[in-house]
Structure 1
Amino acid sequence: MPDGPAAPDSPRVAAGRFGSDDPGRRDLAAYAVLALPLAFGGLPLYIHAPDFFAAERGVPLTALGLALFWLRLLDAALDPLAGWAGDRWPQARGALIGVGAVLLGAGVAALFAPAPVPVLAWFTVTLAVASLGHSLISVNLLTIGGLWRRDPAQKSRISAAREGFGLAGLILAVVLPSALAPVIGRQAALLVLAGVLIVTLLATLPLFRRWLETARLEVTTPPDARPDWRALLPFYAIAAIVLLSAAFPAALILMLVRDLLGAEALAGLFLLAYFAAALPGAAIAGRLAGRFGAVPVWTGALILSVAGFAFALTLGPGDNAAFFAICVATGFCFGADLVLPPAILSDRIEATQTGAAATRAYAALGFLTKAALALAGAVALPLLELAGFRPAEPNDTAALRALLLLYAGLPLLLRGVAVILLLFIHKRGAI
């Protein structure tokens, strides 16, 4: 994208000029801080809610899986709509993020409140509201960060800052329910989490909006602007496979810890180890990507994660120390999964000169994330029920083996395919 007033969707900033100079730490923090409540609110949607409604409120796994499938598909379909709105009215991105914050806070609070209607209907409506809010924030936050700098090293740095705040939010979301549930009960602990989410949104949103006003993103978008989907397709194909490989463990980790390992009391510790390890993983991945390129670093991280999932296939009851090590290793690689795909996509948008339609390009990545979660839930939960698995109840060896294969075996296979494709496509220069 060329510099100057005529450049479509190019930020013109008063503080932190658009260019290759390093953005200051204060600007980085002001931009990235909103990722903390975004991630904090995402964890209960993607990890706590399905297990809570299955184990605590008795929703059958097949019904829950089908509900999640349609919810994620609806949520995924709304991501491109949010992306189109951001590209069509770029000056409204801040307002869209504000609306998303209201929906996310209200939806998470209602999700874990006592259900005044049939439980599955309440789950469906409240999760849809919260997910829409999450999408409005994430799509526009990614776009603004992707358009802030051109230099690939700075793109990785911006991505690392955003994901660093996001990981801090994830860690906080892990610690709170784990610490409070033994004292006040699981539902009350999740309601406290919702209250903290609302407070953090109220604290961070004004900081971000103030930075956004100072940055003065004065953009105009041609009405016919659109991403170069053909050029971006190789990246999206690999991202879809990796996202699907991550969606299965996300959906099943609490069941694995409670029902296979028999270590429900340690679930918070395992999640904390995973996300804490992702913090240095994200920082190191960002630094290495600036030096060696994002694609080679991501390839190496995927290979390391394959080894971690292979080790996970040996787990059995009581293997708590081994699973802790797996959480640390795969969490470290997860940091690279967070930082590098948005940076790679930003590079591809720059290379194809389609910055005027960047929000739709990032929305497509969000679509793939939600579609992966939808497919994982629709596949894993009914298959577990078919295998005779019952959450929070005694299970036979075959049912627990099915749980382990879905948690680790399928992700291992998917990530192996992703590595092969990434090497092949990168060699051809398509990513």
Structure 2
Amino acid sequence: MAALPVYVHAPAYYAGQLGMALSTTGLLLFLARLVDTVQDPWLGHLIDLKAGRLRGWMFGAGVLLAVSFAGLWLPPVQGKALMVWLVVMLIAIYTAHSMLNIAYLAWGARLGNEAALLNAAAWREGAGLVGVVLASIVPGYLMAGQQVEQGMAWYALAFALLLALGIGALLYRALPWLGGGQKQSWREPLANPAFRRVLLPYFLNAVSVAIPATLALFFIRDRIEAPQLSGAFLAAYFVAAAIGLPLWVKLAGKIGTAKAWRLGMILAVLAFAGAAVLSGGDVVAYALVCILAGLALGADLALPPVLLAGLISPQHSAASYYGIWTLLGKLALAISGLVLPLLALGGYQPGVAGQGGLSLALTYAALPCAIKLLAMWRLNLVIGDVERKPKS
């Protein structure tokens, strides 16, 4: 609820509900993500140093995340101060989320062999998708209502309660933290050649996912002309991803994690290529795009973290690896924020019929396809290396 949904709904909320200029919103999103991005390797290193002694770390991050999440949707300021508020709240949300997420991913990286990791990843991402579906439907419904501020206040409270429940369950019921071996510099993972080779395809693929996520609500409203179905389209996308998770895990067990991920990329390209030619009223066709793209998203969610876990040497701690990994994911989201001022230059204006519709369609669908094909090409070059287990 505090990751991808924030990035999907915040631009529409601040540009549509609060009146901030689209180009300004995009630049501020980029700035906030850029500031946040550089800290992830350092946070991963701190988690490694704590070696599982993370109770205070997790509780502190949870409090920061709950407070900043509420602040994002309930800004007490207007005008120029609203721009500063947006940046501060986003940086606080991203920082707290990184503190929790890097520790969580590193915690699970030592659960067992590849089969155990694939199974655990499917359950983890499946549970995450339930939250994503709720977080995709509820804000859109609340923003379309008459009492938006009151609705978002209840939404923030529900998030805080769910967050407390999740952190409590993790700390008191999860398997013990198994650590990762010797402590290391945050730069040490970059000495692993297989890890270095997989970074570029992962980054390119993350950019290809982030761009349509940033533009989805704009595309649905101004290209498909069905804003009332925004929640349904997003739900179809994420439910399809949840359904696809066990299928990708099963396929990865048969042909290998990297090869299964490559097939997911192909499916995503086929899905989004069709979206580029859609226009007003193509509701059924766009629903099909959402379902196919959602199935492909299942591969993007479940398989890359498992691929990474297989590249971590037993002598290395996992959190430093995931710190660099999440850095690239956030950098991809930061870059995707730049498509908003790019669309403004192309003549697109949110909510204005006929203004920059073609530019919106090409940026939402064609550009991600091109980037996804580059990612697949780079993965093809290293697929043999990344599927070999690291030497101890």
| Aligned residue number for residue 56 of structure 2 | 95
Where does 1:151-162 land on structure 2 (aligned, <5 Å)? Answer: 151-162=113-124
Instruction: Give the structure-2-normalised TM-score.
Output: 0.93
Aligned residues: CA RMSD: 1.9
5+ unaligned residues in a row in structure 1: which ranges?
1-39
1:286 CA drift (Å)? 1.5
Structure 1 counterpart of 2:153, from 191, 212, 216: 191
| Aligned residue number for residue 371 of structure 1 | 331
1:418 aligns with 2:380: no
| Aligned residue number for residue 346 of structure 2 | 387
Q: Does the CA contact (< 8 Å) of 1:90 and 1:220 recur in 2?
A: no
5+ unaligned residues in a row in structure 2: which ranges?
none
Where does 1:180-259 land on structure 2 (aligned, <5 Å)? Answer: 180-212=142-174, 215=176, 217=178, 221-223=182-184, 226-227=188-189, 228-259=191-222
Q: Does the CA contact (< 8 Å) of 1:167 and 1:278 recur in 2?
A: yes
Q: Does the CA contact (< 8 Å) of 1:91 and 1:219 recur in 2?
A: no
Quick one: distance in 2 between partners of 1:310 and 1:219?
42
1:183 CA drift (Å)? 4.2
Q: Does the CA contact (< 8 Å) of 1:384 and 1:402 recur in 2?
A: yes
Tell me whether 415-424 or 45-54 shows the greater mean CA deviation.
415-424
Equivalent AA in structure 2 for residue 96 of structure 1: W
Equivalent AA in structure 2 for residue 370 of structure 1: K
Count residues with an aligned counterpart.
384
1:314 CA drift (Å)? 1.2
Equivalent AA in structure 1 for residue 76 of structure 2: A
Secondary structure of the structure 2 residue equivalent to 1:41: coil
1:412 CA drift (Å)? 0.4
Structure 1 counterpart of 2:362, from 370, 386, 405: 405
1:99 CA drift (Å)? 2.0
1:354 CA drift (Å)? 4.5
1:348 aligns with 2:311: yes
Distance 1:286 1:114, change over 3 A: same
Q: Does the CA contact (< 8 Å) of 2:194 and 2:386 recur in 1?
A: no
Give CA-to-partner distance per residue, 1:40-85, whole Å, 9 cap, x none: 2224421111111111112122222221111101111121111010
Identity %: 31
Q: Does the CA contact (< 8 Å) of 1:177 and 1:186 recur in 2?
A: no
1:83 aligns with 2:38: no
| Aligned residue number for residue 12 of structure 2 | 51
Distance 1:172 1:401, change over 3 A: same
Distance 1:365 1:393, change over 3 A: same
| Aligned residue number for residue 8 of structure 1 | none
Distance 1:120 1:359, change over 3 A: same
| Aligned residue number for residue 359 of structure 1 | 319
Q: Does the CA contact (< 8 Å) of 1:175 and 1:268 recur in 2?
A: yes
Give CA-to-partner distance per residue, 1:332-390, whole Å, 9 cap, x none: 110110000000000011xx44432x111111111011100111112x11111111211
Quick one: distance in 2 between partners of 1:61 and 1:83?
34
Distance 1:182 1:74, change over 3 A: closer
Q: Does the CA contact (< 8 Å) of 1:111 and 1:123 recur in 2?
A: yes
1:134 CA drift (Å)? 0.9
| Aligned residue number for residue 73 of structure 1 | 34
Distance 1:219 1:328, change over 3 A: closer
Instruction: Give the structure-1-normalised TM-score.
Output: 0.85
| Aligned residue number for residue 41 of structure 1 | 2
Secondary structure of the structure 2 residue equivalent to 1:390: coil
1:423 CA drift (Å)? 1.8
Quick one: distance in 2 between partners of 1:51 and 1:198?
22
Give CA-to-partner distance per residue, 1:260-318, whole Å, 9 cap, x none: 11111100000000000000111211222123211111111111111001111111111
Where does 1:261-410 land on structure 2 (aligned, <5 Å)? Answer: 261-349=224-312, 352-356=313-317, 358-378=318-338, 380-396=339-355, 399-410=356-367
Distance 1:429 1:87, change over 3 A: closer
Distance 1:414 1:104, change over 3 A: same
Q: Does the CA contact (< 8 Å) of 2:29 and 2:337 recur in 1?
A: yes
1:184 CA drift (Å)? 4.4
Give CA-to-partner distance per residue, 1:125-161, whole Å, 9 cap, x none: 1111111111111111111111222x11111111111
Q: Does the CA contact (< 8 Å) of 2:44 and 2:102 recur in 1?
A: yes
